[in-house]
Amino acid sequence: MHRILTFVLALALLILPILATPSRLRLPGSALRLARKHGGGETGDDDDGPGGDNDNDDDSNADGNIPDLGDSAGIPDVANATNAACVPFYPVRDAILGGVFGGRCTDLARASVRLAFHDAGTFSLRLAALGKPNGAADGSLLWDPQEVLRDENNGLQDIVAALAPLPQRFNVSPGDVLQLAGVLGVLACPGGPRIDAWVGRPLPANKAPNGLLPSPNDSVDSLLGRFADMGFAPVDLIALIGAHGTARQRFVDPAMAGEAMDTTIDLWDVNFYRDTNVATAPHNVFRLASDVNLAHNASTKAFFHEYIDNQPDWDQDYRAAHLLMSTLGYKTTELVNCTELMPASINLTRVSMPDTVSGKAVVDPGLLEAAIQKYRAPWLKP
């Protein structure tokens, strides 16, 4: 009998990644991306919904100095909404992108990306198979006032305080507010890709379980195991930690509180991978021991090194991994795709000019600000 029960549990753990949540449904994409990365050619894994891709094609500059992003999204208006179920979320978007972020890559915008992971990162396939209380991308950090007080959530108090009133204000779930803030936080940072936005989450079923969020001191094996228990492949882990490039550390080393984790904290770019991989950290850049270990471990370094100076591949892989993360614990058939309300991505290629010394493309501050003024105008604070 014991052998039978063991077999059934093992079988459940194998089947659950396919059936349990939309993140499970994205797992084949990880395999396809792996094939693309290792000589398999194009995978066809580009059906990313109405959000399209943060492509790097050269489009015409229709507005003089204001770059044409070539993204049909522009600034979506509720008057042009195509899905009635998405209409209530346009003002939620505006309250987050404008009222909380001010249309820019602020500390609150960056914190919202971390918040989205801390919300979803307590999901466990093992707990699901055992039928035990589980985490999910359910907004429990906005629902349970005690959760943000846990040590692992230090630094998230301000973004939680800013978002907490919105579910009641707009009569939507805390999970929808929190995870919408996560994808908008990515977009608020120039270069951030346009990630599909799913809504329709119910209230959290329970408090998030303790002890499941990864630690910056975890070993590579521990990180790989924990992310696998969430349903992530190694490539997803390495793509997701690229978000550290727009982060500041405050609590790992209080003596260096506030230091950025790459040299371009206000841009959603791939400098994090280069800055973490080099032997010595650049000036005023703080590196997590776990990130450095992932850059050099035999199981993960190939993925890490591929993103160095390779924005297109990282964009593709990050978008897929973040989408997977933002729907942990749910089936897509239970949710509504409201990507139609997501504004355009600000593509860094189109706001860059050749450096006069190195000849390499670097972001031009004037072009970047012009793009921000054009594509974030409704949400910018005076």
Q: What is the mean pLDDT of the chain?
A: 83
State yes or no: 262 annotated in a binding site.
Answer: yes
Model confidence at 358, in pLDDT bands (50, 70, 90)?
confident
Q: What is the CATH number of domain 11-379?
A: 1.10.520.10
Residue 113 pLDDT exceeds 50:
yes
Residue 34 pLDDT > 70? no
Contact by Cβ (8 Å): 342, 182: no
Please name the residues in contact with 332: beta carbons below 8 A apart, sequence gap of 6 or more. Answer: 22, 25, 198
Lowest mean pLDDT: which of 24-33, 118-127, 260-269, 347-356? 24-33
- Residue 370: is its pLDDT beyond 60? yes
Candidates 2, 38, 118, 322; catalytic one: 118
Using DSSP's 3-state secondary structure scheme, residue 191 falls into: coil
What is the rounded distance in angstroms from the CA atom of residue 197 to the CA atom of residue 203?
Answer: 18
Secondary structure class of 198 (helix, strand, coil): strand
Question: Does residue 290 carry a pLDDT above 60?
Answer: yes
Neighbour count for residue 304 (Cβ, 10 Å): 25
Predicted confidence band of residue 13 (pLDDT cuts 50, 70, 90): very low
Side-chain half-sphere of 303: how many Cα atoms within 13 Å? 24
User: Tokens 């371009």 identify what position?
Assistant: 264
* DSSP states along 216-277: TT--HHHHHHHHHHHT--HHHHHHHGGGGGG-EESSSSGGGTTEESSS-TTS-SSHHHHHHH
Lowest mean pLDDT among 172-186, 236-250, 368-382: 236-250
**Residue 372, H or E segment:** helix 365-375
pLDDT at 95 over 80: yes
- Residue 86 neighbours by CB under 8 Å, 6+ apart: 199, 336, 338, 340, 341
**Which uninterrupted H or E stretch holds 354?**
strand 352-354
Overall average pLDDT of the 126-132 stretch:
97
On whether 173 is known to bind a ligand per the annotation, the reply is: no
Predicted confidence at residue 255, as pLDDT, reads 66
Give the helix/strand (H/E) hosting 199: strand 198-199
- Range in 13-17, 71-75, 133-137, 352-356 the model is least confident about: 13-17
Q: Which tens digit of pLDDT belongs to each residue from 323-340?
A: 999 999 999 899 999 999
pLDDT greater than 70 at residue 127: yes
Query: What was the pLDDT predicted at 239?
Result: 97
Residue from 148, 135, 313, 304 nearest 234 by CA: 304
63 is in an annotated binding site: no
Q: Is 43 annotated as a binding residue?
A: no
Q: What is the pLDDT of residues 223-252, one digit of tens each?
A: 999 999 999 999 999 999 999 888 776 666
Q: Is 176 annotated as a binding residue?
A: no
Question: b/e per residue, 100-133, with b = 16+ CB within 10 A?
Answer: bbbbbbbbbbbbbbbbbbbbbbbbbbebbbeeee
**Contact (CB, 8 A) for 179 and 137:** yes
Assessment of whether the complete model's pTM goes beyond 0.95: no
Tell me the residue type at 254.
Answer: P
Please check if 124 is assigned to a binding site.
no
Name 154's Cβ contacts closer than 8 Å, sequence gap at least 6: 250, 251
The predicted pLDDT at position 182 comes to: 98
- The position carrying tokens 């790989």 is 224
What CA–CA distance (Å, rounded) separates 184 from 311? 19
The pLDDT value given to residue 256: 65
Confidence of residue 65 (pLDDT cuts 50, 70, 90): low
Rounded CA separation 195/172 (Å): 20
118 is catalytic: yes
Arithmetic mean of pLDDT, 132-159: 96
Beta carbons of 231 and 326 less than 8 angstroms apart: no
Closest CA to 375 of 74, 90, 94: 74
Q: Is 269 annotated as a binding residue?
A: yes
